[in-house]
Amino acid sequence: MKPFKRWLGLAVAAVLALQLFFIVRIASMAVVAPQSTAFERSEAWRILNEKGKLPWRQQWVAYPQISDNLKRAVIASEDDGFAYHDGVDWDALEKAWQKNAKAEAQVAKLAPSKKSGTAVAKPARAPKVVGGSTITQQLAKNLFLSGERTLLRKGQEFVLTMLLEALLSKERILEIYLNSVEWGEGVFGAEAAAQHYFRKPASRLTAYEAARLAVMLPRPKYFEKLSNSSYLSERAGVIAGRLVNAELP
């Protein structure tokens, strides 16, 4: 019994030490920009292994140097309650849960029955998982966590989200997010994205250009290769029309 208690105590101490490390790191971000995120380091390693070289575009710019159009577009597209919530949009999370449950139920109905005796049956497509993550949650994941989907990782994401909201201002959270989020293969941050796609600084992005970048965020590498996508253009038009209602922190 004593060895078990000893190991349990060590495990608890390790978890607490990790949380203290996260607190110190996040608190320092109030004044010091993070040099890189866990996701950036993972992508850099992948690109280097696949291509043998590391084409990388990223340049940190201060909050005022990022067009309000882009700030509003990202909020309108990714998290329209950003200015008000405490890091987690519980209503959006509940809706996402319901959509995923409904999609899984539909797939289950379409799946071939084992009792049908059918020799060959086309497998039902896996449902598209709908997320309910806020900008703060996305930042927490990108800064510190891996891409694995486990309850333990999700729990840590919630803790990090609460720490980010408690220790940093909303403006600072949005500033770090816009400077570190992926916008293509080796393209990170608003300045690099604006230069890569429109050959201009992030401070001069128009409403439509900002909306196109915002729409790319869920699948940046996919849309980078499909710049003439009709979906991208149409969705960007919708987001551009919502900018006036997107409230900045």
- Determine the Cα–Cα distance for residues 154 and 93; give it in Å rounded to an integer: 13
CA 16 to centroid of chain Cα atoms = 26
Residues 6+ apart with CB under 8 A from 200: 194
Give me the average pLDDT of each 10-residue run along the chain (249 residues): 78 90 95 94 94 92 97 96 88 64 64 49 46 88 86 90 96 98 96 97 98 96 91 96 94
- What is the predicted pLDDT for the residue at 104? 61
- What is the predicted pLDDT for the residue at 88? 87
- What is the predicted pLDDT for the residue at 98? 62
- What is the predicted pLDDT for the residue at 4? 72
- What is the predicted pLDDT for the residue at 92? 65
- What is the predicted pLDDT for the residue at 118? 47
Task: Give pTM, 2 decimals.
Answer: 0.84
